[in-house]
Structure 1
C-alpha cells in the first residue's frame, strides 16, 4: 500500500509542477511586451519598484505587502498644471465674453441725479455763492513755485543720502575683500 500512496503523491506533485509551468507560460504569453522593451519600464527604488507606462507616460510606485505587489499612481504635477491652465483659459474666455457684451454698469446714466444727497452733511453756506448748473467748473489747485522748490530740495537731499549710503557700502565691501 505504501508504494501506491507514494506514487500517487509523486504524480500529484508532478501534475502541480506541470500545471504551474503551463499556466506560467500562458501568463507570460498573455503579457508579452508590445515592443522591444515592453510597455512598462521598471526602475528599482528603496521601497520597491518605480513603474513607467511607456504608452501613457503614467508613473506608479509598486511595493510588496502581505497580500502581494500593489502599484499606486504617482501624483502627476503636469496633469494638475494642465487642469489649472484649462480652468484659467475658460475663465479668460468667460471674461472676454462679458467684456464683449458690454459693461454691466455704465459711467453715464440717463436719469437725472437727485438734487440733494440725504446722507451728505449740510455744507456751510458762507463759502461761495451758488453757480447755475451749466456754469459749474472743476478747479484743481496747482502747486506754487515755493511748493515745487520744497519738493525739489527734498528729492535732492534724499538722492545725496542714497549716493552716500551706496558709497559707504561699496567701501565696506571692498575693504573686506
Structure 2
C-alpha cells in the first residue's frame, strides 16, 4: 500500500510539473525511454538507452533520483581513467614542459621575480609615454 501511494505521488508530481512548465514534446527516441519499477522506499528508474539505474524518491515535494552506488563507483573509475589519459596526452604535446602540468609550490625564484618586474616596468613606461603623447599641449583655442 505504501509503494502504491508513493507511485501515485510521483505521478501527481510529474503531472503538476508538466502543467506548470510546458516543455517541448519528447522526440520519438525519448518517448518511453525510462522504465519505473517500485522498490522499497521509492522507485527504480531504468534508462533504456544507457542502461543507467537510479533510485528515485520524493523529498520535500520534489522527485529526487540518485545514481545507484555501483554505477557511481564505475563513473568515478572512468573519470579517473580519463584524467590519467588526459595528463599523458598533455605531456606528449610538443613544447609541453613537465612543470607546466604540475602545480607550483612556494614563491617564485629571484630570476622569475626580476623577469616579471622587468615586464611590469616596460609596460608602465610605455603607458606613461602614451599618456604624454596624448596629453593636451596647452590651450590653443
**TM-score between both structures, scaled by the size of structure 2:** 0.36
Return the index of the structure with the highest Cα Rg. Answer: 1
**Higher RCO (CA < 8 A, seq sep 6+):** 2
